[in-house]
Amino acid sequence: MRPRVYVTQPIAESALVRLRDIAEVEVNQDSSRIPVKDKLIDAARRSDILLCLLHDTIDREVLAANPNLKAIASMTITPDRIDVAEATNRGIIVSNIPAVVTDATADIAFGLLLAVARRIVEGDKVVRSGVFPGSQSNHLAGAAVSGKTIGIVGMGRIGQAMARRARGFDMTVLYSDPHALPAEEEQKLGVRLVSFDELLGQSDFISLHPALNDETHHLIGERQFALMKRTAFLINTSRGPIIDEKALAQALTEGRIAGAGIDVYENEPKIERALLTMNNVVLTPHLGSAVMELRERMAHVVVDNIAAIAEGRTPPNCINPTVLAPGA
C-alpha cells in the first residue's frame, strides 16, 4: 500500500509531484504559521510518515499518537526539535538532510550586517511614509562596513563563508573557535585566531556561527556585552539560545552596543518584546535557508528519504539506522 504522508507546511511543488507519485499526500496549506501540537498529533494519527520542517516539535506525545507511525522525514540538518531517542525506542525512522545551507546562511548574515549598519530597513520605512531627508542629510547616517573589523565566533563551514564575504569588504577578520584552522587555511581566508574576550573587545561587528550545545548556550550575555565596543553590532544566524535575549535587549536599551541583526531567537517563534520596538535592530524570521533553489533542493532530499522508506530501503540520510537492523 502507498504510505500516507502528512506535510506540515507547503514545500516545492516539484518535490510534491514526486511525492504524490509514491504516496498519498496531505499538505497543511498554511505556510505562515508553525503547526500547533494538537494539529501535529491529529496528523500523526492518520499518517504513516510525517514530513516536517525545522520548527515542528515532534515530541513524545506526537510520536505516541500512532503506534503504526513509520517515519519522521525532517527537512532539517540538526533535528533539535525531534525526540530521536523516543522515536528510536518506538522503531520509528528519523531522517534529515545534509549540510547544504552554508552559502545561503552566510548571505543572510552579511545581509543583516549591512542592513543594520547602514540603516536600510529604517530608510525603507521613512521613504514609504513620504519622508525623503536628502542624500547628504545626517538623518539616517549609519556605520561604515568596509575596512572595519569583524569577529567571527565559530569558524566552521558558515563561519568560513562569512569570512570570505567579509574579505570582499576589506574587513579585518578575527575568529574564535575551540579548534584553530590549519595555518594555510588561515592564510587563505585572511583570518586570525584570537581569544573570545579579545574578539569581543576588538570587533566592530560580531557574527555568531557556533553549534548550540551546553557550552554555547547563552554564550553572549551580560558579561560579554560589557566587553564589546559601544559602537559594535551583533549578528546571529546560528541558533537563538546562543544569546541571552533579555541581556541583549538590556544592552541595546542602555546603549552598550550599537545594534543587532537577528535571524534566530531564544524561544522561537516568540521574540523578546523589547526588540520589536527598536529601530537599531533588524529582525528576520529564520530566513537562513530561504532561497527558492535551495529550498527546492532540500525538499527533494526529503522525498529521496521517503522514497527509500516506501521501498523498504535505508534512507540516504537516516539518523537512527539501528531501527532498520534485523530484529530491531
State the maximum Cα–Cα separation within the chain, in Å, rounded to a whole number: 74
Residues carrying an active site annotation: 239, 268, 286
> Alpha-carbon torsion 247, 252, 255, 257, what sign?
positive
C-alpha cell at 216: 554555547
- Closest by CA to 174, choosing from 192, 196, 201, is 192
Are the beta carbons of 245 and 239 closer than 8 angstroms? no
Instruction: Give the phi and the psi of residue 198 in degrees, each rounded to 5.
Output: -65, -40
* pLDDT at residue 80, as a whole number: 86
pTM as predicted: 0.89
Residue 262 has a pLDDT of 98
Chunked mean pLDDT (size 10), the chain, 328 residues? 95 97 94 89 97 95 97 94 96 96 97 98 95 88 97 98 98 98 97 98 98 95 98 97 98 98 95 96 95 96 97 95 75
- Give SS3 for 258: coil
Alpha-carbon torsion (263, 142, 206, 100), positive or negative = positive
Q: Check residue 326 and give its pLDDT.
A: 64
CB atoms under 10 Å from CB of 132, counted, come to 11
Q: What is the pLDDT of residue 328?
A: 47
Q: Rounded CA gap, 91 and 300, in Å?
A: 24
